[in-house]
């Protein structure tokens, strides 16, 4: 059987730009939502000259590609594990009191990401 005809693929813009937004936070994870993928156009350039009918097939496929990729990517909502709870340790003699951040909320303060909440003392 003949080897497949391969394509070079170009896209606009190059690279596509993805934007994300942190949408929520719990004690264990930060949820990030992919809000957009800027991918306007995909073109398949055959490495071997193609007939009109085959070019049409490739073009149809290339035209359909951006929304497929975009839909797939913008549906992503990965959770980033936080690891240890955020807080600070207050040593008292030989003992240590842990003040942890509970009921966390996302925000910003002075251009920095702010995670605020109430104190959970243990």
Q: Hey, which residues between 56 and 75 contact another protein (CB under 8 A)? A: 57-58, 60-62, 64-65, 68-69, 71-73
- Dihedrals phi, psi of 16, to nearest 5 degrees: -60, 145
Footprint on residues 31-50 left by another protein (CB under 8 A): 35, 37, 42, 44, 46, 48-50
Find out whether 34 and 73 touch, Cβ atoms under 8 Å. yes
Q: Is 9 a residue that touches another protein (CB under 8 A)?
A: yes
Burial 89-105 (b: 16+ CB within 10 A, else e): eeeeeeeeeeebbeebe
For residues 32 and 47, give the distance between their C-alpha atoms in angstroms, rounded to a whole number. 39
Name which of 40 and 119 has its Cβ closer to another protein: 119
Nearest alpha carbon to residue 64 among 39, 29, 47: 39
Give least dist CB 22 to another protein, A: 4
Q: Is 117 a residue that touches another protein (CB under 8 A)?
A: yes
Determine the size of the site formed for another protein (CB under 8 A): 80
1 SS3 class: coil
Find out whether 59 and 68 touch, Cβ atoms under 8 Å. no
Name which of 19 and 40 has its Cβ closer to another protein: 19
Footprint on residues 72-91 left by another protein (CB under 8 A): 72-73, 78, 80-84, 86-91
Q: Is 27 a residue that touches another protein (CB under 8 A)?
A: no
List the beta bridge partners of residue 24.
31
Q: Is 12 a residue that touches another protein (CB under 8 A)?
A: no
């Amino acid at each position: 059987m003949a080897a497949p005809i391969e394509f070079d693929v170009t896209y606009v813009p190059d690279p596509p730009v993805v934007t994300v937004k942190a949408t929520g936070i719990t004690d264990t994870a930060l949820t990030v939502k992919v809000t957009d993928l800027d991918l306007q156009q995909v073109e398949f350039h055959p490495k071997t000259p193609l007939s009109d009918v085959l070019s049409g097939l490739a073009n149809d496929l290339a035209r359909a590609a951006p929304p497929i990729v975009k839909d797939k990517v913008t549906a992503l909502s990965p959770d980033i594990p936080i690891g240890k709870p955020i807080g600070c340790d207050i040593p008292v003699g030989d003992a240590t009191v842990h003040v942890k951040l509970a009921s966390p909320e996302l925000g910003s303060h002075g251009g920095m990401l702010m995670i605020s909440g109430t104190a959970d003392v243990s």
